[in-house]
Structure 1
Amino acid sequence: MDDPADVPGRVVAVIGTPGHAVDAVSAALTGGGATLWHHGDPGVPDAVVDLTLTEPFDPGRANAADEALVRTLTVLRHCYQDWAAETDTRRLAYLAVTYLDGRCGYSGHRVHQPLGGIWAGLAKTLHRELPVVSAKVVDLPDPGHPGLAGIVAAELYRDGPAEIGYRDGIREVLLPRAEPAPAPAFALDGDDTVLVCGGGTGIGFELARTLARRGCRVAVTGRAARPEGAEHWLRLDPVAFEQYRHDLIRDAAGTRGLRETRRRIGKLQNLRELDANLRAVDAEGLPLRYRPCDLTDPAQAAALIDELGTGLTGIVYLAGVDRPARLPSKTDTDFLAGVAVKTTGFLRLIEVLRDRKPALKFFCNSGSLTGRLGGMVGELDYAAANEALARLGLWARRETGIEVFTVCWPLWRGLSVSTNVDAALKYMPAMDPAEGFGNWCTELTAPHHGGEVVYLGPIAGGMDVTKAGQFPLDPALPGFGAAHPKVFHRGTPAHWKPGERLRSRIRFDTHTTPAAADFHVDGSPALPVSLLLETALRTCHWLVPDPPHELTDVEVHPAALRLVDGAIELDRVTTVRDGTVEIVIRNGDGPAVANLTVHTGERPATAAPAFPATAANPVLPAPSMVRWKGAVIPRAQWQRHACGTVTAPLPHCPPSDLWTAEPAPEHLLPVAALENILRMAYAGYAAGPLRIERIAVHPEHSHPTRLLGTPSGETWYAVDHSSRVALVLRRGDHRPDPRSAAWPS
C-alpha cells in the first residue's frame, strides 16, 4: 500500500460507528503524522474520513442510514463556513468509505450495503458548495476489509478519480463508455400494463401519456388523491391563481408559518397540474388510469400490485423531489426526507414484487446525472438520493432476479423537477422532450446487462477546477473536444476562487511537448512563446463564461523560458478584474516571465488584409538571440513584395505534432502561425522582453493558410483560404523597418 502522502501535519476527523475500523484508520493516520480532531474540539479539521454505514443491508429498514447520515451532516455543517472560505486547493479533503462490493456495485457479487450510494452522491456534489474540497468515495467489499486503514491513508489526499474500488487486491475506477442503445428485445402493446410510479405530473406523466399513445395500458400513481373538481383554488385561471398564491405568501410573511405556506402552495400547484393532465387524457380517450398510492406504506404497495394483477409487465419508478438549498439552510429532517422519497418507496415495491413474482419485462428506475456525476449547488440531498437509488437497483438486480436498471437523465427542457432551471443549464444543455421520450421507450424494451445507463449532453460546462481532475474523459463523450483542452491546460491547481482567481502550477517538457526543443534562446532549448500564450488563454475558461477574443499588453521574457534538464515548471495566476482577465506567469520566486490581459465577450470586427499580387523576393529574419529550428513547427518561407509587404504560405502543423497527449488538444491560438509571425516581427531581437500590443483571435477561423506583415512591420495577419482573419498581431515596441538592412533578402 502507498504511504499516506500529504497526511503529515493535517488535522483529520474520523467519523463512524465506534469500533475497530475507526480505531484502525485513526492509528494509520496518526502514524503518518496527522492529528485527530473530534467533534467538540476547537477549530475545524482539514479533512474528514467518513466510514458511513457499516451494518449489513436489511431492505426492511429503509431508514437504517439515518443515524450515520446525520453524523455526516453534523460534521460538514461544522466545517462549512471555514471550508467555503478556503482557496488553497491542497488543504481540504473529504473521503467517504462505502461497502457495496469493492466495485461500486458492479462486480455481480453480493452487495453488503447499497445505501452507501447516499454518500457517493453527496461526495460527488460537495465541491459545488465547497469548491476547493477534494471529495471522493472509496468502495470496499465490507467493513472488515483487512486493508481498509491503509487504503484510507493512501487515498485521502491522492489526486485522481472521485470513485474508486478495491477488490481482490486490485484498485479500480469507474469509467464512462459510449454505447448505442441496443435493439429492442420485445414490443409493448395493448396486452401490456405499465405502472408509472410518481407519474402524475412532469416527466413521469408525459412518459405515461407517451406509452398510452403507443397502445399500452398505463397505471399512474401519486401520493395525492385527484381533486374532486369543486375546490376554489382549482377553478382559478392561471392569473387568478398567481394572485391567490401571492396573497397567501403576503399573509404568512414574517411568521413561522411562511415555510409551511410555501409547501402548501407547491402542493396546490401539483394538484392543479395533476387535474389538468388527467382531464387531458380523459378527453383523448387514452388507456391511462390514476391511482393514489403511498408506496412507502407496504400495505398500499401490496394492494396496488394485487389490483394490477398478472397483466402488469413493466414498472417505471420516478419518485423524487428537488428543493435546492445550501447545506446550512437544509435541516436534517428535510435532508433525510429528500433521500427517503427516492429509496423507501423503491424498497417497499421491490419487497412486494419479490413475494408475488409477476412476469415483468422491465423495471426501470428514473435516475439523474446529479447522482452519477454530482449535482449543482443546493442538491446534496437530491444527488445522494439518486445515487442511492441507482445502487439499490444494482442490489435488487442481483438479489431478486428482477431485471432492474437505472437510466440517469440530464435536465429536461420544460419538464424537469429542478426549481432552478437557469442555474442547471449552466452545467449542461437540456434534453429535448421528444428525443428523451423516444430514447426512454427504446430503453424500456432493450436488454440491459450493466444495470445503469446515462444520457449525457456536452460535458465541458458541468466541470469546475476541482471536478476536472476527478472525471475520466473519454474521446467518445459528447463535448469532449471542448472539455479536453480546458482540462489539459488546467495544470495543478494551488488556489481557486470561482469566478475570481485561479493559481496553477504548469509543467512542460520535451517528452510531452516536442516543440519545446524547437525554440532556442542563446543556444538553449526554451518553451515557445506561442505555447505559453495558448495555455494562458485556455485558463480563462475556468473563470469566465464568454470565450476570449483578444490579448493585450503582452510582455514575455524568452530568456526566462529556457528549459532545465529538458523541462520547465511555471506558476500561472489568472485573475478576473474589471471585466477582463489578467494573467501573470512566473518561474519560481523571480520576476514575471509573462504578463498579459485577456478580453472576453463580443469581438470587434476585423477586416481582412489585402495580399499584394506583385512579384516578391525571398526574405529571412536577421540573426537574434532567439532561433527557430523548424523541426516541429515548420518555418514559413517569407517573401518581400515591392510595396514593402511581406507574405508567406503557412505550412500545416497539426496539434499532434506539438503535444504527445492522445488525443492532442486543439488550439485557440493558431500556434504555427503565431510562432512564424513572431519569428519575423521580432527579427534582430537581442535582449529584454518581447512586447506585443495586441493579439486578436478568431478561433472559428483557426486553420490559417497565409501570413502577411505590413510594410512598417507593426501589424501582422494570419488568414484562412477564404481570407477570413484567424489572428492579428500588433507589435508593442519599435523595430527597424523590414525594408532596411536589418532584414537581408
Structure 2
Amino acid sequence: MTVQTLLPGSTPDTPAVRHHQVAWQPEGFTRPLDRLVYSPHPVSLPADADATWLVGRAVCLLGADTALVDQVGGELTKAGVVVRRPETDGSTPDGVDGIVDLNVLGSGYALTEQSWQEPMRQSARALHSVYDRWVGEARFGRHFYVTVTHLGGRMGYGGTRIPQPLSGAWAGLCKGLQYELPATAQKVVDVDDITPDRIARVLLLECGRWDLSEIGHLAGERTTLMSAKIPNPEPTLDLGPSDTVVITGGGRGIGFVAAEGLAAATGCRVVVTGREQPPAGHVWLDHDDEEFAAWRWRELQATEPGQLRETRLRIERATNARTIHQNLKSGRAKGLRIDYVPCDCTDPAQVRELFDRVGGPTVLMHNAGIDNAVRFNQQSPDTVVRVVSVKIDGLATMLAEIRRRPDLAAKLKLVSGVGSLSGRLGGMIGQVSYAAANDGLTRLNCWVRDELGIPAQTVLWHTWEGVGSIVRPHSAVRYTSTIEPSDGMAHWVREVLSGTQTEVLFMGRFGSAIVPHQLRNRLLLMYGNADYTRWTSADFHLGELTRYQLHREIECVNVLRRADHPCFADVTVGGRPAVPASVVLEHAISVGDWVGPYPWPRQHLQEITDIDIRIDALVFTEDELHLVKRGHGTPLPDGRWQVTVEVDRRDGTRVASVNLVYGESPAVVPAVDAADVTGEDQPLSAGQRYRSNGLVFRVPRWRKTTGGQEIALPAVTPTDLWMLPFEPEITLPSGVVEALLAVASANNDDMRVTISRIVVAPGSTKAVRLLSTQDGGAWTGVTESGMSVVRIEHCGFGGLRRTPDLN
C-alpha cells in the first residue's frame, strides 16, 4: 500500500493550498482502489423546467433508420426546431447549432451483425466537418452533440430489457468528446420507446439542460447512473488445472498481468492471444534492454531515405514480439501454464481455428483493444470503426463461434470484458474512439447476460503503473492516479472468480484534468472517494458555466440567495445585508482551478495580488445576488502562471478583481518572532460601513505588542459559513480577511477595499493570530504552534495601502 507524498511544509493536518494538480508525481503514485458498481437513480427536473430551448435552433439530425429520422425531424419541426440533414458527402450543413444523433435506434441486434459500422462512419463524418469550428468556440452550449440510445430507458441497468446494445458505442463517443470539444455541450439520452413523438418530446426536454451527461427516460421517470462503493466479493467460480481461460489481447500489458494472476491463483491453463505471430527465430528476442536499444538504433541508422515509416513499424512489431516472448519466458520460469496463440478476434476463421486448437474456455476474457491516440478529427471514419470493432465485433465473433458449438457453450462459465474509465466518463484527449469502444463493450456484455443467458461482467480500469501501452503515463497521471500492478491483479482475479454479473469499476484518485461541465458526472462516481470533498467544493463554487476554453478562460455564474447560508445573515454594508468579502474572495479563487497551463502540470496557489473589492456591490438585491466570474490565464516572465479574475454583478457592476499566481511548489511565509504584549486585550472597533453582526464572524480582540499589534482570531469553519451536507474546502482563513476589513473600515466611509498581496502557504486556514509589522503595513497569520501560514500586505479602504493603527 502506498500513500500520497506530502508536500514541503505540509502535514496530514495542514494540506497544501488549492492547486491545479494534486500532489502526486508523474510516476510512482498509486493508491488503494475503491470497488464501484452502478445503478439508476432518479433525477428530478426543476419546477420551472420547460421544453423551449431547441425552438428556433438549427439541428443536424443523423441516424441509420431514415424513416425514423424523417419522422422525428417532422415532430421537431412542428415544435419550431430547424431540422437539417447531412450533406451528400456526410458533412454537417453550415449554420447548424448542434447535432442530434439517432444512430442505430431502429434495429435490434444479433451476434456478428455489423450494420452499426456505416452509421458510426456517418457520425464521425458529421463531427469531423464541424470539429475545427466547434473547437475554437468558447461559449459553452453554443454548439451541442446529443445522442439518443435505446438501452431500455435505464442506460442498460435496472433490470430492463436492452433492445439495442450497440447504441452504447454512441454513448461512449458522446462522452469522449468532452476534452476535445470542451465548450461543446454533450448529452446521452436513453429512451425506452423509440416512437417519433416520444423521441422528440424527450429531446425538447433534455436539450439545453446540460446538468448531467447521461440521462434515462422510462415510463415517465428520469434517471442517471450513480456509483456505490461495495466490499470485495467472495469467489463462486471453482477454477482449477482442468479449466482453460482465454484472454484476447493478453500477450502484453495488463492482459498478461491477469494471465499470470489467474494461472498462479488457480493452476488453470491460460491461453493469451494477439494479432502478432508467435515470436521465434530473432536474435533480439532475448536481448536485454540495453542490447535491444542498441539494435533499434542500428536499424534506424541503416534506414534509407523515405523508408523511415516502414522501419519504425518493423521496430514496433519487434518490440511487441520481444515483450510477448519475455512474458511467456517469465511465466514458464514461474511454472505457470500460459500459452500464446495468434488470433485476430474479429476474424471468424481465425477464431474457429483458435478453438479447434485450444478447446472451449471456461472463462473468456475479452481484453483486445487498439487505441489510435490522436485527436478525433485526425482519425478517419474507417479508423474509428476499426477501434470500436475490436471491442464489439471481437467479442461477438468469439461468442458466435462458442454458441455454434454445443460442446464449447456447455463449458463456458463466464464472459469477462475488460473496459476502461474512458467508456464510463470519457477518456483523455485522443481517446474518443476508445471511449466509444469501451462503453459499447460494457452495454454489449449487459445484453449478453440478459438476452443470451451467459454470465457476463465488465471490469473497468484506469491507467496501470508501468504496464500497458494505451496511454503515456506522464499524460495519464494528470487525469487519474495510477494502479499498482499487484493491487490491480489481486482485484481482477478476485472479480473473475466471483462471477459478478455487472459493470465494476476500480477507482483510485482523480487528477486535475477535469473540464468543468464534466464535474457533476464525476461526482456521481466519487461518493466516499478521497477526492469527494475536493471536487464537491469545486462544484459548489463553479455555478453555471457560460464560457470555457482549455488553459485560457472560463466564465460562470453563481446565484447567491440570502436565505441559503448563515454567512449571508451576518454582514451588512450601510446597514443592508451583504455577502461577506471573504466569501467573494473564495469564489474568485475557485475560478483558478479551471484555468491551468498546458498540460495540467502540478501547480500551487502561492499568492493573490492586486485585490480590489467594491463593498457597496456586495449588497443583496431582492434577496439574491448574481456573481458573474471570469478568469483568464497567462504565463508570467518568471515561469509562474497567473489567472486574472473579475467578478461582476449581473448588471455589469464590478464587485471584485484579483490576480491568482501559481507555481510549481507551495509558497513559504517568512517566520515572525513572537512579540511581548504591551497593551491590554480589547475588542476591535466595528467599521462604520462594513460590519459583522457577530453571528459567524465574531468580533476579534487585539492588543499592542513590542513588534506592533496582535489580533486573536475567532475560529471560522466551513460549517459556520455554509448550510450544506458537506463542508466545502476554503483556501483563505475567513476570520483573517474579515478581521482586517474590520480594522481597515474603522472610521472610514469609503466603499473600496484594496489589498496588494496575500501569500498563502499550506495550512493557511489554521491561522489563529495576526501579527502586524511596526508600521502596520503587513500582517502575518500564525498557527497555534507559531508557524507562519499567511501574509497580507497593504490592506486599506479607498486605495489606502497601509492598515490604520488600531488606536
Aligned position for 1:475: 527
- 2:618 aligns with 561
- Partner residue, 1:283: 333
1:693 is the counterpart of 2:693 = no
> Residues 503-522 of structure 1: matches in 2 within 5 Å?
503-522=555-574
Q: In the alignment, which residue of structure 2 is the partner of 1:584?
A: 646
Distance 1:665 1:705 in 2: 20
Quick one: distance in 2 between partners of 1:586 and 1:97?
38
* Superposed counterparts of 1:131-280, under 5 Å: 131-144=182-195, 147-186=198-237, 188-224=239-275, 226-227=277-278, 229-231=280-282, 234=285, 237-244=291-298, 246-247=300-301, 251-252=305-306, 258=309, 262-280=312-330
Query: Are the counterparts in 2 of residues 511 and 660 from structure 1 also a CA contact under 8 Å?
Result: no
Paired with 1:727 and 1:701, the residues of 2 have a C-alpha distance of 5
Instruction: Give, in whole Å, the separation in 2 of the partners of 1:477 and 1:138.
Output: 27
Q: Summarize the Cα distance change of 1:735–1:339 in structure 2 as closer, same or farther, 3 Å threshold.
A: closer
Which has the higher mean CA deviation after the structures are superposed, 155-164 or 183-192? 183-192
Where do 1:332-731 residues align within 5 Å?
332-354=381-403, 355=406, 356-449=408-501, 451-473=502-524, 474-544=526-596, 545=600, 546-577=603-634, 578=636, 579-601=641-663, 602-614=665-677, 616-621=680-685, 623-636=687-700, 638-641=701-704, 643=706, 645-731=708-794
Cα deviation for residue 613 of structure 1 reads 4.0
Q: Deviations over 1:653-683 (max 9, x none)?
A: 2212212232131111111332223212432
CA contact (8 A) 2:352 2:401 kept: yes
* Preserved CA contact (<8 Å) 2:562 2:623: yes
Q: Answer with 555-564 or 212-221: which moved more.
A: 212-221
Measure, in 1, the Cα distance between the counterparts of 2:59 and 2:121: 19
Paired residues, what number?
Answer: 734
C-alpha separation between the residues in 1 aligned to 2:391 and 2:298?
31
Letter in structure 1 aligned against 2:297: Q
Matched, 1:35 2:82: yes
Give the TM-score taking structure 2 as reference length: 0.86
Deviations 1:311-359 (A, max 9, x none): x432322110112111221112211111111111211222233343334
Taking structure 1 as reference, are residues 261 and 48 closer, same or farther at Cα in structure 2, changes over 3 Å only?
farther
C-alpha deviation, 1:649, in angstroms: 3.4
Q: CA 1:446–1:337 in structure 2 vs 1: closer, same or farther (change >3 Å)?
A: same
Measure how far apart 1:225 and its partner are: 5.6
* Structure 2 spans left out of the alignment, 5+ residues: 1-44
Change (3 A) 1:619 1:701: closer
Distance 1:435 1:675, change over 3 A: same
Distance 2:699 2:726 in 1: 24
402-411 or 145-154: bigger deviation: 145-154
Which residue of the partner structure matches residue 376 of structure 2? 327
For residues 63 and 290 of structure 1, the distance between their equivalents in structure 2, rounded to whole angstroms, comes to 28
Distance 1:475 1:32 in 2: 39
Offset at residue 131 of structure 1 (A): 1.2
Q: Is the 8 A contact 2:124 2:384 kept in 1?
A: no
CA distance in 2, matches of 1:44, 1:36: 11
**Stretch of structure 1 that moved more, 16-25 or 329-338:** 16-25
Are 1:44 and 1:79, in contact at CA under 8 Å, matched by a contact in 2? no
Residue number in structure 1 paired with 2:128:
77
Question: Does residue 1:121 correspond to 2:185, yes or no?
Answer: no
Paired letter, 2:785: S
CA distance in 1: counterparts of 2:274 and 2:705, whole angstroms: 84
Q: What amino acid sits opposite 2:68 in the alignment?
A: A
Comparing 729-738 with 266-275, greater Cα deviation is found at 729-738
Render the CA deviation track for 1:684-719: whole Å, top value 9, x for unaligned: 231131010111112434222233334433222322
Structure 2: which amino acid aligns with 1:347? Answer: A
Q: Are positions 1:292 and 2:292 aligned together?
A: no
Task: Give, in angstroms, the shift of residue 190 of structure 1.
Answer: 3.2
Q: Deviations over 1:275-330 (max 9, x none)?
A: 222222233332222222333233543454455457x4323221101121112211
Asked whether the 8 Å contact 2:61–2:83 carries over to 1, the reply is: yes
**Higher mean C-alpha deviation, range 667-676 or range 280-289:** 280-289
Equivalent pair of 2:628/2:648 in contact (CA under 8 Å): yes
Residue identity matched to 2:529: L
Cα-Cα RMSD: 2.5
Which residue is equivalent to 2:51? 4
SS in 1 for 2:321: helix
SS at match of 2:466: coil
Contact 2:733 2:764 in 1 (8 A): no
Q: Would the alpha carbon gap of residues 395 and 245 (structure 1) be closer, same or farther in structure 2, given more than 3 Å must change? A: farther
Q: Report if the CA contact (8 A) 1:670-1:726 is conserved.
A: no
- Sequence identity (%): 30
Match of residue 94, structure 1, among 134, 145, 148: 145
Unaligned stretches of 5+ residues in structure 1: none
